[in-house]
Amino acid sequence: MKLLQDQNVIITGGSRGIGRGIATTFAKHGANVAFTYNSSTQAAEELVKELEGFGVKAKAYQSDAADFDKAQELAKLVLEDFGQIDALVNNAGITKDNLLMRMSEEDFDKVIKVNLNSVFNLTKAVLRPMLKQRKGSIINMSSVVGIKGNAGQSNYSASKAGIIGFSKSVALELGSRNIRSNVIAPGFIETEMTEKLDENTVQGWRDSIPLKRGGTPEDIANACVFLASDMSAYITGQTLSVDGGMLT
Ligand code: NAP
């Protein structure tokens, strides 16, 4: 069953990793996909072709999620190109890890801007069309680290915890307009990025997870499909951990 047939979605940071997994899984479920990237132009172009292979409309937009004006422009362009925005997945994110003692103000601010301001920027940008439609699903990508913290990631965990507070407030403000706002908190997800890590370290992480494996982008994407679709029509303001039981 195609759960997102003819739905139009925006996914930020779709060119790689989890965002790419969300884009392909959404397309398999019949959604038309508008996705953004920062600098991976070639990967973005390849993904557009792959998505079109599923018989959906797909378009890539170079757009810095941290830039407020660019986010407003993006929503305008997507509306012109697709006609309606049914779901938004705020997935773009970066890390700049360091112990607090060594963390610069610049690295703190950068991570907050790309991870948290971006969620504000684009949620605000899609608000008007969603209010008009009286329908919308906003899905924000937090992290296990936003719930429990992590040494060496005070900037990242602050941004990811901020996303949870923001999403709950949006759920309260917009529930009466049938706009839902939920969070996904991934655990350890294996992407090209984690392939570069030392295999013994990664195996140690896998062993400590109750389901005894790292997650895949598809694991996160399937949760996004659920939250974007009417299967979750009565769910808002929630944080869904997709972490193999890590927080249990
Ligand atoms: P990734 O492989 O590094 O991909 C990040 C994506 O975000 C890329 O498409 C990148 O575009 C885009 N991006 C980065 N900065 C951007 C900006 N300023 N404007 C627009 N797009 C930007 O990351 P990932 O592992 O898939 O993570 C995706 C999300 O899940 C992030 O929010 C991350 O915090 C969260 N998460 C990941 C894990 C994990 O284990 N991987 C765990 C918990 C949470 P370019 O390709 O152009 O750079």
CATH of the domain at 165: 3.40.50.720
> Contact at 8 Å (CB) between 246 and 209?
yes
For residue 137, tell me if it sits in a domain: yes
| Mean pLDDT of the region 228-246 | 98
For residue 3, tell me if it sits in a domain: no
194 pLDDT exceeds 90?
no
- pLDDT tens, position by position, 46-80: 999 999 999 999 999 999 999 999 999 999 999 99
| Mean pLDDT of the region 226-239 | 98
pLDDT band at 196 (very low <50, low <70, confident <90, very high): confident
Q: What is the pLDDT of residue 169?
A: 99
Catalytic positions: 156
**Count of positions (residues) in the chain:** 248
Question: Which residues fall within 8 angstroms of residue 53, CB to CB, at 6 or more apart?
Answer: none
- pLDDT tens, position by position, 124-145: 999 999 999 999 999 999 999 9
Q: Which of 10, 11, 12, 18 to mutate to test the pocket of ligand 1 (most atoms within 8 A of CB)?
A: 18
Share of the chain above pLDDT 70, in %: 100
Which residue has the CA at smallest separation from atom 32 of ligand 1?
Answer: 93
Q: How many domains does the chain have?
A: 1
Share of the chain above pLDDT 90, in %: 97
- pLDDT tens, position by position, 153-191: 999 999 999 999 999 999 999 999 999 999 999 999 999
Mean pLDDT of the chain: 97
193 pLDDT exceeds 80?
no
pLDDT band at 110 (very low <50, low <70, confident <90, very high): very high
Residues touching ligand 1 (Cβ under 6 Å) are: 12-19, 36-40, 64-66, 91-94, 114, 141, 143, 186, 188-189, 191, 193
Q: What is the pLDDT of residue 175?
A: 98
Instruction: State yes or no: 164 annotated in a binding site.
Output: no
197 pLDDT exceeds 90?
no
Which residue has the CA at smallest separation from atom 25 of ligand 1?
Answer: 17
Structural domain that includes position 235: 8-242
Instruction: State yes or no: 91 annotated in a binding site.
Output: yes
The model's pTM: 0.98
Instruction: State yes or no: 241 annotated in a binding site.
Output: no
For residue 2, tell me if it sits in a domain: no
- pLDDT tens, position by position, 33-49: 999 999 999 999 999 99
The rounded Å distance from CA 19 to ligand 1 centre is: 7
User: Between these two residues, 196 and 217, which has the higher pLDDT value?
Assistant: 217
Q: What is the pLDDT of residue 205?
A: 94
For residue 106, tell me if it sits in a domain: yes
Q: What is the pLDDT of residue 195?
A: 84
DSSP of the chain: --TTTT-EEEESS-SSHHHHHHHHHHHHTT-EEEEEESS-HHHHHHHHHHHHTTTS-EEEEE--TT-HHHHHHHHHHHHHHHS---EEEE-------B-GGG--HHHHHHHHIIIIIHHHHHHHHHHHHHHHHT-EEEEEE--HHHHH--TTBHHHHHHHHHHHHHHHHHHHHHGGGTEEEEEEEE-SB--HHHHTS-HHHHHHHHHHSTTSS-B-HHHHHHHHHHHHSGGGTT--S-EEEESTTTT-
1 pLDDT exceeds 90?
no
The rounded Å distance from CA 136 to ligand 1 centre is: 23
For residue 193, tell me if it sits in a domain: yes
The rounded Å distance from CA 230 to ligand 1 centre is: 26
Instruction: State yes or no: 15 annotated in a binding site.
Output: yes
Q: What is the pLDDT of residue 211?
A: 98
Q: Which of 63, 94, 141 to mutate to test the pocket of ligand 1 (most atoms within 8 A of CB)?
A: 94
For residue 247, tell me if it sits in a domain: no
Q: What is the pLDDT of residue 242?
A: 98
For residue 126, tell me if it sits in a domain: yes
The rounded Å distance from CA 146 to ligand 1 centre is: 15
For residue 46, tell me if it sits in a domain: yes
Instruction: State yes or no: 14 annotated in a binding site.
Output: yes
Which residue has the CA at smallest separation from atom 31 of ligand 1?
Answer: 93
Counting atoms of ligand 1 from 1, which one is nearest the CA of 39? 47
Q: What is the Cα–Cα distance from 35 to 44, expressed in whole angstroms?
A: 8
